[in-house]
Amino acid sequence: MFNFYTHGELALPARRRFLQEAGLGFGSLALASMLQGESKADSSIIDPLALKSPHFPSKVKSIIWLFMTGAPSQVDTWDYKPELQKRDGEPLSGADPKTGFFTTSGKCLKSPFKWEQHGESGSWVSDLFPHLSKHVDKMCFLHSMYLRQNNHAPASLELMCGTNRPGLPALGAWMTYGLGSQNSNLPAYVVLHDTRPRGDDQIWSAGFLPKTYQALALDARRKEAIDNLSRDIKHSDAQQRSQLDLIRQLNQEHAAGRPTQADLAARINSYELAYRMQMAAPETLDLSQETEATHRLYGLDKPECATFARQCLLSRRLVERGVRFVQIFAGKGVAGDGSVNDVPWDCHTDLEVNHRSCGLHTDQPAAALLTDLQSRGLLDSTLVIWGGEFGRTSDSQGAKGRDHNPNGFTIWLSGAGVQGGLHYGSTDPFGYKAVEKKVHVNDLHATLLHLLGLDHTKLTHRFNGRDFRLTDVGGEVLSEILT
């Protein structure tokens, strides 16, 4: 809806939240195209989100990251440890009670879940994932992930931004900065969340990059997920176009005398993108266009996974329309007794109840996403990532819980550019620490950028007198996992 507020001496549309969260995030999108209707447009103005050539040819065009908020336990999901099962209750050699955020017992806690091998690769999977287990031959497992932070917000920052220091750009922002947008009517970087994760906007921030590259964050529970996008019914399209033209003219005159203030251009162009999105976004977000069979495939008819199902289906629709990076933050799951699990995957007190509900919440939709992408040929150009911000301890916290563990955890990749059915790296026999072919987040980021056709050492941005990059001064491409 177009309401109005007064800003200085000008009356401007009051879609304040949208413009702050999305508008500034779209920044100076297509400024040249905005000026095409003006006979004296400045041809030197470059669209910062114009499609850019990668450093070298690549298969991956889009990434979907299924972020398992709260951190799933590697030894209860994808990293089977028979020794841990045998030594339940015995002292865990080398255990540090301060590894996590609280204090642990130092005694082994076996997995309460049943494990079986699946696929031609014989990959071990716990019974939390009856649907995803059918896709193991498409998955490339990184069992030796590690990072430095042991609490959710700083670990999420490190995982997405390369370090836990606030104010740095996230992976999706770097991707958009390096490659541009594939669809001028939609944002290049979209975040779908249920409850907002700990770390909040910093996890998907553009940091010191121009605000053009900020993510648009959407609450996936809502059918009209973008606030105030619809035009006021009292205004015709022509009236709205005239208003935007006048606002643009006045704002450009204002910005002309302030060439160093990049966010002014970002704010100006946000109105134009919002205008174009009035047609593109509602169609994209309208799941009623999907067949009943597709709804059932994802589990939209099931209360225990309907929200995550909506997120996964939306992510397919977004990449199908050229969105570069979609990140889904898994939200609340429903436990077997029907109660709501308020803290996804964060199993401090009752591992079995917590992980069982999270499995129900995420398993079917994630598997459906892989099936759907493959059936449409999109898995040939899309990379799907599954994982949380760290792992869990192999020793117990209390009687039945596990504490945070940044020293070893599993992430899997599936789709374009990576080998399916591959298990890379390993943790020790108890799953406590990464020991073989250790993978830091800088290595993961270097590999993801490589898959997109970007050399992580050349993707830089000068800020405060130095060149920054996503991988800082580290990062090695995991060439062994590539096709």
Whether the per-residue pLDDT at 87 is higher than 60: the answer is yes
Task: Give the Cβ contact number of residue 222 at 10 Å.
Answer: 11
Closest by CA position to 240, among listed 283, 280, 279: 279
Q: Please report, as a single letter, which amino acid is at residue 28.
A: S
The better pLDDT of the pair 48, 109 is held by 109
Whether the per-residue pLDDT at 322 is higher than 60: the answer is yes
Antiparallel, parallel or unpaired: β 123-126 and 409-415: unpaired
Whether the per-residue pLDDT at 96 is higher than 90: the answer is yes
What mean pLDDT is predicted for residues 356-370?
Answer: 97
Residue 263 pLDDT = 63
Rounded CA-CA distance 409/397 in Å is 17
Confidence of residue 412 (pLDDT cuts 50, 70, 90): very high
Residue 338 pLDDT = 61
Torsion, Cα of 93, 98, 100, 106 (10° steps) = 30
Extract the tokens encoding 93. 């050699």
Q: Please report, as a single letter, which amino acid is at residue 407.
A: N
Q: What is the pTM of this model?
A: 0.85
Rounded CA-CA distance 475/384 in Å is 20
What mean pLDDT is predicted for residues 271-287?
Answer: 69
Extract the tokens encoding 433. 């620490």
Look at the alpha carbons of 227, 69, 359, 378 in this order and tell me if their dihedral is positive or negative: positive
The better pLDDT of the pair 25, 424 is held by 424
The shares of helix, strand and coil residues in the chain, as percent rounded to the nearest 5, are 35, 20, 45
Rounded CA-CA distance 187/170 in Å is 15
Which are the contacts of 412, defined by CB distance < 8 A and separation ≥ 6?
78, 139, 140, 141, 142, 385, 386, 387
Residue 70 pLDDT = 94
Highest averaged pLDDT of the listed ranges 38-47, 121-130, 266-275, 282-291:
121-130
Contact 301, 169 (CB under 8 A): no
Burial of 400 (C-beta count, 10 Å sphere; 0-12/13-18/19+): middle
Whether the per-residue pLDDT at 171 is higher than 80: the answer is yes
Q: Please report, as a single letter, which amino acid is at residue 418.
A: V
What mean pLDDT is predicted for residues 276-290?
Answer: 77
DSSP 287: G
Q: Which residues is 400 bridged to in the sheet?
A: 350
Rounded CA-CA distance 439/461 in Å is 25
Task: Give the Cβ contact number of residue 234 at 10 Å.
Answer: 8
Tens digit of pLDDT for each residue in 224-270? 455 555 556 666 767 766 776 777 677 777 777 777 666 666 566 55
Tens digit of pLDDT for each residue in 110-127? 999 999 999 999 999 999
Extract the tokens encoding 75. 């030894």
Percent of the chain residues topping a pLDDT of 70: 78
Contact 379, 373 (CB under 8 A): yes
CATH number of the structural domain 17-39+63-481:
3.40.720
Residue 13 pLDDT = 41
Rounded CA-CA distance 320/299 in Å is 20
**DSSP secondary structure, 31-68, as one string:** HHHHTTTSTT--TT---TTS----SS--S--EEEEEE-
Q: Which helix (H) or strand (E) holds 409?
A: strand 409-415
Whether the per-residue pLDDT at 57 is higher than 70: the answer is yes
Mean of all residue pLDDT scores within the chain: 85
Phi-psi bin for 34: left (phi > 0), alpha (psi -120 to 50), beta?
alpha
Rounded CA-CA distance 111/395 in Å is 11
Whether the per-residue pLDDT at 40 is higher than 80: the answer is no
Phi-psi bin for 97: left (phi > 0), alpha (psi -120 to 50), beta?
alpha
DSSP 113: S
Tens digit of pLDDT for each residue in 175-199? 999 999 998 888 899 999 887 787 7
Extract the tokens encoding 483. 């096709």
Q: Looking at 153-167, 234-248, 313-327, which range is the least confident one?
A: 234-248
Residue 81 pLDDT = 98
